[in-house]
Structure 1
Amino acid sequence: MTSPTVGFTIDRESLEVAPASTAKMSVCGLAGPFATHAPYDDATFTAAFPLDTPVLINSTDAKARMIAPDGQIGRALSLINAQFADGQTAALVVLVRTATGVDDAATIAAIAGNSTTGTGIWAFKRAGAVCGVYPRLIAVPGWTRQTSLDGEGALLANPIAAALPALLASIYAFAYVWTGGVDAATSKAYRETIASGRIQPIDTGVVTTLSDGTTVANDDPTPIALGLHVRRDFEKDGRPFSSILNQPIYGIVGPSRHVDFSLLDGATEGQDLLAHQVSVIIRGESGDDFAIADGGFVFMGFENCDPEATWSQTHKVRGRDFIELTAIRTVRQYLGRFNLTTQTCKTIVDTVDDILAAAEAKGEILGRRVRFDPDLNNTSDLRSGLIWVEAKFEEAPVFRKLGLVSRPYAIALAKTIETLAAQAI
Structure 2
Amino acid sequence: MFIEGEEEILPSSPFVAGLIAKVDSEQGFWHSPSNKEINGIVGTSRPIDFTLGNTNCRANHLNENEVTTIIHQNGYRLWGNRTCSNDSKWAFLSVRRTADLINDSLLRAHLWAVDRNITKTYIDDVIEGVNSYLANLKAQGAIISGKCYATPELNTPANIASGKVYFDFEFTPPYPAEQIIFRSHLVNIS
Q: Same fold (TM over 0.5)?
A: yes
Within the alignment, does 1:316 sit opposite 2:95 as a pair? yes
Q: Which amino acid aligns with 1:210?
A: I
Aligned to 1:389: 167
Report the structure, 1 or 2, having the larger strand content. 1
Within the alignment, does 1:298 sit opposite 2:77 as a pair? yes
3-state DSSP of counterpart to 2:144? strand
Aligned to 1:378: 156
Counterpart of 1:278 (choices 67, 71, 93) is: 67
Tell me, in whole angstroms, the C-alpha distance in 2 between the residues paired with 1:360 and 1:320: 14
Within the alignment, does 1:335 sit opposite 2:114 as a pair? yes
Tell me, in whole angstroms, the C-alpha distance in 2 between the residues paired with 1:215 and 1:408: 50
Tell me, in whole angstroms, the C-alpha distance in 1 between the residues paired with 2:176 and 2:39: 22
Q: Retained in 1: the 8 A contact 2:16–2:38? A: no
Tell me, in whole angstroms, the C-alpha distance in 2 between the residues paired with 1:327 and 1:346: 15
Aligned to 1:227: 18
Instruction: Tell me the CA shift for residue 348 of structure 1.
Output: 0.5
Tell me, in whole angstroms, the C-alpha distance in 1 between the residues paired with 2:92 and 2:98: 10
3-state DSSP of counterpart to 1:406? coil
How do 1:17-416 and structure 2 match up within 5 A? Answer: 208-211=1-4, 213-216=5-8, 218-236=9-27, 239-284=28-73, 295-336=74-115, 338-408=116-186, 413=189
Aligned to 1:16: none
- Mean Cα deviation higher: 368-377 or 225-234: 368-377
Tell me, in whole angstroms, the C-alpha distance in 1 between the residues paired with 2:185 and 2:163: 62
Instruction: Tell me the CA shift for residue 315 of structure 1.
Output: 1.6
Q: Retained in 2: the 8 A contact 1:364–1:395? A: yes
Aligned to 1:189: none
Write the deviation string for residues 50-105 of structure 1: whole angstroms up to 9, x where unpaired.
xxxxxxxxxxxxxxxxxxxxxxxxxxxxxxxxxxxxxxxxxxxxxxxxxxxxxxxx
Structure 1 unaligned segments of length 5 or more: list them: 1-207, 285-294, 415-425
3-state DSSP of counterpart to 1:299? strand
The TM-score normalised by the length of structure 2 is: 0.92
Q: Which amino acid aligns with 1:257?
A: R
Instruction: Tell me the CA shift for residue 258 of structure 1.
Output: 2.1
RMSD (CA atoms):
1.7
Tell me, in whole angstroms, the C-alpha distance in 1 between the residues paired with 2:43 and 2:184: 37
Q: Retained in 2: the 8 A contact 1:262–1:271? A: no
Instruction: Tell me the CA shift for residue 409 of structure 1.
Output: 5.1
**Amino-acid identity (%):** 24
Write the deviation string for residues 371-399 of structure 1: whole angstroms up to 9, x where unpaired.
11123221210122211111000211112
Q: Which amino acid aligns with 2:52?
A: L
The TM-score normalised by the length of structure 1 is: 0.43
